Amino acid sequence: YEAAFSWDSNLDATSYAVKVTDGTTTKTDTITTAAYTVSNVAMDSNWDITVRAINAKGKSLPSTTSVKIGKTAVAFLSYYATP
């Protein structure tokens, strides 16, 4: 299975720092789109995703949500302006 995460893009962001973990496996990445896919996830596994918007001023506060992998998983992330 794959878990696809997406969020509303931040107009000031030039990239996003992404961290996903199921407690055993942790993946980190810096990406330029407001979407991230994790491959080889197990059905009924729980995943946490943390995203931080990045721009010339630094990183935003982290936004984290948890999802349980099933037939359909829906989660929401919110962003606030970088101080």
Q: Looking at the whole model, is its pTM more than 0.95?
A: no
User: Which has more confidence, 41 or 18?
Assistant: 18
Residue 18 has pLDDT above 80, yes or no: yes
Question: What are the residues whose beta carbons fall under 8 Å from the beta carbon of 18, sequence distance 6 or more?
Answer: 5, 27, 28, 29, 30, 31, 36, 49, 50, 51
- Going by pLDDT thresholds of 50, 70 and 90, the confidence category of residue 2 is confident
Residue 15 has pLDDT above 90, yes or no: yes
**Distance from CA of residue 51 to its chain's centroid?**
5
25-82: pLDDT as tens digits: 999 999 999 999 998 888 889 999 999 999 999 999 999 988 888 765 555 555 555 4
